Amino acid sequence: MRPKPFAPIPASLPATVPFIGPETLQRRRGAAFDARLGANENGFGPSPAAIAAMRDEAARVWQYGDSTSHDLRHALADHHAVPAESVTVGEGIDGLLGNLARLMIDRGDVAVTSDGAYPTFNYHVAGFGGALHKVPYRDDAEDLDALSAAARNRGARLVYLANPDNPMGSWHQGPAIRAMLDDLPDSALLILDEAYIEFAPDSAIPQIAADDPRVIRMRTFSKAYGLAGARIGYAIGHPDLIDGFERIRNHFGVNRMAQAGALAALRDSAWLSDIRHQVGKARDRLAAIAAANGMTALPSATNFVAVDTGRDGAFSRRLVAALERQGVFVRMPGVPPLDRCIRISCAPAPELDILAEALPRALAGL
Amino acid sequence: MRPKPFAPIPASLPATVPFIGPETLQRRRGAAFDARLGANENGFGPSPAAIAAMRDEAARVWQYGDSTSHDLRHALADHHAVPAESVTVGEGIDGLLGNLARLMIDRGDVAVTSDGAYPTFNYHVAGFGGALHKVPYRDDAEDLDALSAAARNRGARLVYLANPDNPMGSWHQGPAIRAMLDDLPDSALLILDEAYIEFAPDSAIPQIAADDPRVIRMRTFSKAYGLAGARIGYAIGHPDLIDGFERIRNHFGVNRMAQAGALAALRDSAWLSDIRHQVGKARDRLAAIAAANGMTALPSATNFVAVDTGRDGAFSRRLVAALERQGVFVRMPGVPPLDRCIRISCAPAPELDILAEALPRALAGL
């Protein structure tokens, strides 16, 4: 007997994964990586207070987590000076993007994004039967005018913009993003993915009212706060939009330890400042390593650096593979002309030392 | 300006929650519960090895979890003597049910369940536009014949059966469930929710081949393994069905500490045996407390007991509210005639002592 057929939308989808995880790559190569620089994780780690809070909460892990993430949600509301009704907590931005796609996308609805931008957004849009329309990057940055023009021309329901951008590390100033909102058609909701915003200059943060119905902002504890493995993030938007998540989300889905860890991490602003400082130093070091190898680090407002190899995507792909053989995990953009770059995460000095040794060897072998 | 309209299915849904969590109830009453006996959590707690593993893994929480849950998945495959391709790990049974509903349910597709059974299944089916058909319990147990007959009559795509059952604690023998599979129409996939199976006699476990395409089994670390707050469970089914989850799941959605904790919990079979023993004693104690108050505990193969008040749903509702005022959190079935009962979770003796004191006071006040 064969299994029952899937419903039409999943039946039309491939089995896929937006990213192959480093653990899978390690199993394939039969050895652990010496430097884990490919997933934009924060190797400087979370606040010790966050680790302590999670370890403490482990004693209560027999209890389900608070289904409303009440304490964290209210702390986030205070932190951003927005009403708690404008904040929802979810299983990382990936989880929030999935729920948002489900809330907004009916079969055939159009979502606009940049060609080469975050693949997990594309995965979720396709997963609900949406039609993706992609516009090219311009000068290694997401093209605000092209995104809003495409949204108008296609009657888009969703427009995705990461600021700062992943995978290029480029960023726009807040006022430019505010201006973009005015250019969007009435049909469209802007998803402003601010996963890396804590690494960006303040001027990159647009002043947007929490109840502006044209935009939903997404933030995470995975990057600057160093809690990627805890799976916790949040969205800020109009209360009626935020309330929509209550119709579909997995109410008890946020890990209890993650809630405690995120709350402690949010409160440790000194640690966050130090992380910013360390990441800034690591960016400089990555730029120096790139230059020492005849390559150019692009400016970055994130915890990673896109390094321009000066060659094409085929070269970058060979370089990423060669680095993997040297025990260094990095990734690269998926489409030209971005794929002339490789993407390297900021990390503590010992890992960058390993990179500094491995990179010339990898290049020499190509 | 108003927010953008939702897609048709979510637009038609209410903002709802299958359960109001105990933290929300505590905030409403302005005080913590003295005894938390309402969510079928395992107050005896997880294996100390699981807590130690999670605390240890907290040091690596800056890394995303393994997107394939490789080590846990393979350990589960060994544990159940099934191929790893028949196992998928997800964010608890709640998360797995949501993904399964999404895989199988198109607008208007029928799902059959029992009236009064697990509301989160209903939530997910409605959430993907499915049509629920409910059949009554018979003798406080899910009615296998009625479920399969309804599936045939309605051309159901999904049939939900929890064995043992929640909220009644009743159970069927394995051979009866195997026989039910032969009665299902070709259209239907049986979801066998075995969240409580570790508390049941071995004879309640049906012998079903891992690649039987008529059924998917769901298991969790939330109950016997005591890891409710970690949000981790798994499903066993035909490899092609299991592979379908790869099309839609949140690949990096399972918390890194949860994976480590679940693996350690699975390996500590001695702890699981002891939990079974403690839960058995607590069930007996709950039966004695019920009897001492003129009520009757129904037989249970779970870590909770449905206590028949001998009255109606209105009485039970008042009793649940009165217990809440006494600081004791319990729940009750949602529909007649099941709602003549209240549902009390097994717990360590100090919490049952509190119940034993509070129950006569609560009853006296009605």
Q: Beta partners for B235?
A: B88, B218
- Alpha carbon distances (Å) from B229 to A137, A188, A300, B48, B70: 42, 37, 37, 15, 21
User: For residues B181 and B354, is the Cβ–Cβ distance under 8 A?
Assistant: no
Cβ of A261 and B92 within 8 Å?
no
Rounded to an integer, what distance in angstroms lies between the CA atom of residue B214 and that of residue B137? 23
Rounded to an integer, what distance in angstroms lies between the CA atom of residue B222 and that of residue A283? 42
What DSSP element (H or E) covers B72? helix B70-80
- pLDDT tens readout for residues A271-322: 999 999 999 999 999 999 999 999 999 999 999 999 999 999 999 999 999 9
- pLDDT tens readout for residues B85-94: 999 999 999 9
**pLDDT reading at B1 higher than 80:** no
**pLDDT reading at A55 higher than 90:** yes
**pLDDT reading at A1 higher than 80:** no
Give me the total of CB pairs closer than 8 Å, taking one residue from chain A and one from chain B: 285
Q: Which residues of chain B make contact with A57, given a CB cutoff of 8 A?
A: 229
User: For residues A241 and A99, is the Cβ–Cβ distance under 8 A?
Assistant: no
Q: Residue B27: which of A70, A103, A214 has the nearest Cβ?
A: A70
CA proximity to A243, closest of A99, A79, A66: A99
Query: What pTM was estimated for this model as a whole?
Result: 0.97
**pLDDT reading at A154 higher than 90:** yes
E-state strands within A136-200: 158-162, 189-193
Reported for A333-338, long-range contacts at CB under 8 A and 24+ positions apart, including other chains, are A333/A116, A333/A167, A333/A168, A333/A306, A334/A116, A334/A119, A335/A115, A335/A116, A336/A312, A337/A137, A338/A116, A338/A137, A338/A140, A338/A167, A338/A168, A338/A306
Q: Which residues of chain A make contact with B99, given a CB cutoff of 8 A?
A: none
pLDDT for A333: 98
Q: Which residues of chain B make contact with A127, given a CB cutoff of 8 A?
A: 247-248
**pLDDT reading at B201 higher than 80:** yes
pLDDT band at B192 (very low <50, low <70, confident <90, very high): very high
**pLDDT reading at B19 higher than 90:** no
- pLDDT tens readout for residues A219-232: 999 999 999 999 99
**pLDDT reading at A17 higher than 90:** no
Residue B270, token pair as written in the block: 């001695």
Mean pLDDT value of segment A190-216: 97
- pLDDT tens readout for residues B276-320: 999 999 999 999 999 999 999 999 999 999 999 999 999 999 999
**pLDDT reading at B357 higher than 80:** yes
Cβ of A15 and B58 within 8 Å?
no
pLDDT for B226: 98
User: How many Cβ atoms are within 10 Å of A84's Cβ, its own excluded?
Assistant: 16
Rounded to an integer, what distance in angstroms lies between the CA atom of residue B74 and that of residue B68? 10
Amino acid code (one letter) for B288:
A
Rounded to an integer, what distance in angstroms lies between the CA atom of residue A133 and that of residue A364? 39
Mean pLDDT value of segment A181-195: 97
User: How many Cβ atoms are within 10 Å of B7's Cβ, its own excluded?
Assistant: 21
Which of B248, B263, B331 is best to mutate for the A interface (most A CBs within 10 A)?
B248
**pLDDT reading at B26 higher than 90:** yes
pLDDT for B15: 81
Q: Residue A24: which of B9, B23, B67 has the nearest Cβ?
A: B67
Q: Which residue has the tokens 């159970």?
A: B171
Residue A119, token pair as written in the block: 């693949």
Cβ of B58 and A54 within 8 Å?
yes
Amino acid code (one letter) for B147:
L
Cβ of B92 and A252 within 8 Å?
yes
**pLDDT reading at A2 higher than 90:** no
- Going from the N-terminus, what domains does chain B have, and what CATH number goes with each? 8-45+270-364 (3.90.1150.10), 49-267 (3.40.640.10)
The DSSP symbol for A217 reads E
Q: Which residues of chain A make contact with B240, given a CB cutoff of 8 A?
A: 2-3
Reported for A28-34, long-range contacts at CB under 8 A and 24+ positions apart, including other chains, are A29/A324, A29/A325, A31/A327, A32/A327, A33/A324, A33/A327, A33/A328, A33/A329, A34/A326, A34/A327, A34/A328, A34/A351, A34/A354, A34/A358
Amino acid code (one letter) for A296:
T
**pLDDT reading at B214 higher than 80:** yes
- Determine the 3-state secondary structure of A223 from DSSP: coil
Of how many residues is chain A composed?
366
- Mean pLDDT score across all residues of chain B: 97
Cβ of A91 and B253 within 8 Å?
yes
Cβ of A61 and B51 within 8 Å?
yes
Report the Cα A41 to chain-centroid distance in Å. 10
Mean pLDDT value of segment B170-178: 98
Q: Which residues touch A284 (CB under 8 Å, ≥6 apart)?
A: none
**pLDDT reading at B2 higher than 90:** no
**pLDDT reading at B228 higher than 80:** yes
User: For residues A42 and A228, is the Cβ–Cβ distance under 8 A?
Assistant: yes
